[in-house]
Structure 1
């Protein structure tokens, strides 16, 4: 197995013989086999061990076993003893999530302090198969079916090509000792139930079941790479960022192969799940504009020919503008405040505003729109509800909620991004203009 291991890490470019690594070692079969393989292959490494204090004397025994192994082989030993249950209570996560967070934070700290090349974990082929089935049961995208990567960031898994039975044989032949984790025999965890009950039954169904499954997983991984490339091209073509909104053009979904998967891959980055993605797609295809969807961090709005997503929060807090101010920070961006004399130039961009200074009453007030707000749009003589004005412009619901107004006294002088008020416009009698000009990022 040593020759196979060396060939594998060289062929895949997983490990560099001139670098030093950090091996995550629990003392179990997998990590002890990897430790011996590294020693035999002359790969330089240190060991990191975490005592989660979850199994009492057994956890302490694991710690002492790994420490003794390091001493006998002159390997630097990095250890952490932590109160996992307290972490679970503080962060409201499962024991498994807590243990993962704790160990990877610890590994990252050691690698950073000692300038190590990366973290080696002893996940093997059987772990890979179990992970894929867990992802299937949880509801996964195509990358979940591809399982774990041999190298991702600073984490390297050089044993994914080897089965547990190969590791057992290797350990037996070399007389390698290891510690058995008694919790691995319990079937109250999903992974253990798969390991002890489900997968053995599946593999016994036919002689080539395991190899056929591995072959299928490899093809799925290749398919995932192809899909990822196609998705990036689709995303570049049909999505954009407009101010503080992310926008998806409906052309990217209507009559497009795999539309629901493409949509899910886009919206999941904003915290939306696959069911919500399917509902968004249905609303768009059935022309049901105005539907809103919530994730923990974002709001999505299905409009006539697009889906818009905005980050929650970011509403305009009430702010006051003095006549002497030269800049104002708003939820819509930063504006320079300039004083200019009337001339030939008149900025008609709705993102900016040029107002007759003499008509304004300071301090001006900047705030979000409120129910009942009215103003006299430029070019009109009568007041109009801002809500009706925005409906006439077919402004999507998600944008309406983010509209801000500038008030002079109790009168609205400007609906930011859309229209100034007619009474505040620059005219032939204007002697000085106050110019709100949005700064580019």
Structure 2
């Protein structure tokens, strides 16, 4: 009865479920799932059984299904089963057989749960499974989170046996006189998990006999350490990250003064598609000049003076908006409003988002487009031309801000750098009778 007491205690400790909840047990018929079934029965929980026949082991798969169905019938427990053509599904979706089986079973479990009013799906993962997961994650280099093994709960999926070793589950079945089926494929080392279970751990145990117990204890320590680690990461996020619209600014100096700059950087950017392997490259940006950047599938990190700027990737856009007459013209960065007005006074607007130009110097159609390398204009108040690239540098715009700059041109002459400055050649003078008003309305 010791295992039963520990089972109930573990459920209470982690607030997994109560006797008011209806539970759907994933049961293959093996040691683990039959022990889970027996424990739930003795503890008095309300449950049903779900069995997947993956049709991968011929008559053995059918025998497992018949065994579980008979057990459910004997104890008057609701029973659900399904047969999957796992091999075909794996081939069609370019998955390994293991991955295909996982996708199929969890989709079906959730369908059963929601359709039949179950509150949780229970799987029979135990302490040995979480040890194997820890080692697999360690060898893959998954970082701190990978060292915590398998979680007790992930949404409606609950794993209440993680406290118990496989040998304890076998002893419980023997003590209770409960039978189970043996999956011979678990004895083969075709899969990484089986190799770790059957070959690696027994070899380590020859040198360190307490290896399993020590790893289980370490998993609990890793979980506590991870909680502290995550709390520290959240503090760094609050301290270092400044959100500016779609951009996130990270002060280089503060990052470099943090306790572990590379680790802090990875934790701050990993949710934007950056890998640990890219961190050294991004750290080198802190020593480079403005404009250099590293990209992920969805974002990029750009060095900009005192900051690293994290921003979504923007598709290169060659759009050109043809303006044949006054009106409102939407474009990527907002709306350009064009009006033709009679000049009644000379109170020229000072708002950089509005430009008044001498209508006599303007010929339609106008063209609205992104600026490009080589573009130049005569900034208002200047008699010499200036490249727009230099103008934007002098304005101290970031790379992302530069990419959002559009220009308006007439007869291949730029008349306005939208939202920044108009061209001196088209300014309003005392002789001006009519004006063209351009107004940039940001989206």
TM-score by length of 2: 0.85
Greater shift, 31-40 or 304-313, is seen at: 304-313
Q: Given the alignment of the two structures, is residue 199 of structure 1 paired with residue 201 of structure 2, yes or no? A: yes
Match for residue 17 of structure 1?
Answer: 19
Give the alignment of 1:266-345 within 5 angstroms.
266-284=268-286, 286-287=287-288, 289-316=290-317, 318=319, 320=321, 323=325, 325-326=327-328, 328-330=330-332, 332=333, 334-335=334-335, 337=337
Residue 419 of structure 1: CA displacement? 4.5
* CA deviation vs aligned residue, 1:277-312 (integer Å, no higher than 9, x gap): 12211331x345544323233333334422223333
Q: Aligned partners of 2:358, 2:131: CA distance in 1, in Å?
A: 71
- CA change 1:77–1:256 in 2 (3 A) is same
Match for residue 351 of structure 2?
Answer: 348
> Residue 253 of structure 1: SS of its match in structure 2?
helix
- CA change 1:317–1:214 in 2 (3 A) is same
- Unmatched segments (≥5 aa) in structure 1: none
8 Å contact 2:16–2:160 — kept in the other structure?
yes
> Residue 163 of structure 2: SS of its match in structure 1?
coil
8 Å contact 2:326–2:339 — kept in the other structure?
no
Match for residue 71 of structure 2?
Answer: 69
8 Å contact 1:250–1:305 — kept in the other structure?
yes
Match for residue 56 of structure 2?
Answer: 54
Residue 19 of structure 1: CA displacement? 1.4
Give the alignment of 1:52-201 within 5 angstroms.
52-201=54-203
Over alpha carbons, which structure has the higher Rg?
A: 2
Match for residue 8 of structure 1?
Answer: 10
Q: Aligned partners of 1:241, 1:303: CA distance in 2, in Å?
A: 15
Residue 329 of structure 1: CA displacement? 4.8
Q: Aligned partners of 1:335, 1:365: CA distance in 2, in Å?
A: 14
* CA deviation vs aligned residue, 1:105-161 (integer Å, no higher than 9, x gap): 222333333343222111111111111111111111211111222122222111111
- CA change 1:292–1:54 in 2 (3 A) is farther
> Residue 302 of structure 1: SS of its match in structure 2?
strand
> Residue 110 of structure 2: SS of its match in structure 1?
helix
8 Å contact 1:338–1:436 — kept in the other structure?
no
Residue 33 of structure 1: CA displacement? 1.2
Residue 338 of structure 1: CA displacement? 7.5
Q: Aligned partners of 2:346, 2:68: CA distance in 1, in Å?
A: 81
- CA change 1:403–1:205 in 2 (3 A) is farther
8 Å contact 1:335–1:438 — kept in the other structure?
yes
8 Å contact 1:135–1:144 — kept in the other structure?
yes
- CA change 1:191–1:344 in 2 (3 A) is farther
Q: Aligned partners of 2:185, 2:193: CA distance in 1, in Å?
A: 11
Q: Aligned partners of 2:364, 2:62: CA distance in 1, in Å?
A: 71
> Residue 261 of structure 1: SS of its match in structure 2?
helix
Residue 220 of structure 1: CA displacement? 1.6
Q: Aligned partners of 1:233, 1:182: CA distance in 2, in Å?
A: 50
- Unmatched segments (≥5 aa) in structure 2: none
- CA change 1:33–1:248 in 2 (3 A) is same
- CA change 1:123–1:425 in 2 (3 A) is farther
8 Å contact 1:238–1:251 — kept in the other structure?
no
RMSD: 3.2
Equivalent of 1:220 in 209, 219, 222? 222
Equivalent of 1:235 in 231, 234, 237? 237
8 Å contact 2:326–2:340 — kept in the other structure?
no
Give the alignment of 1:14-53 within 5 angstroms.
14-53=16-55
- CA change 1:364–1:179 in 2 (3 A) is farther
Residue 173 of structure 1: CA displacement? 1.3
Match for residue 442 of structure 2?
Answer: 438
* CA deviation vs aligned residue, 1:202-231 (integer Å, no higher than 9, x gap): 234234433333222222211111111111
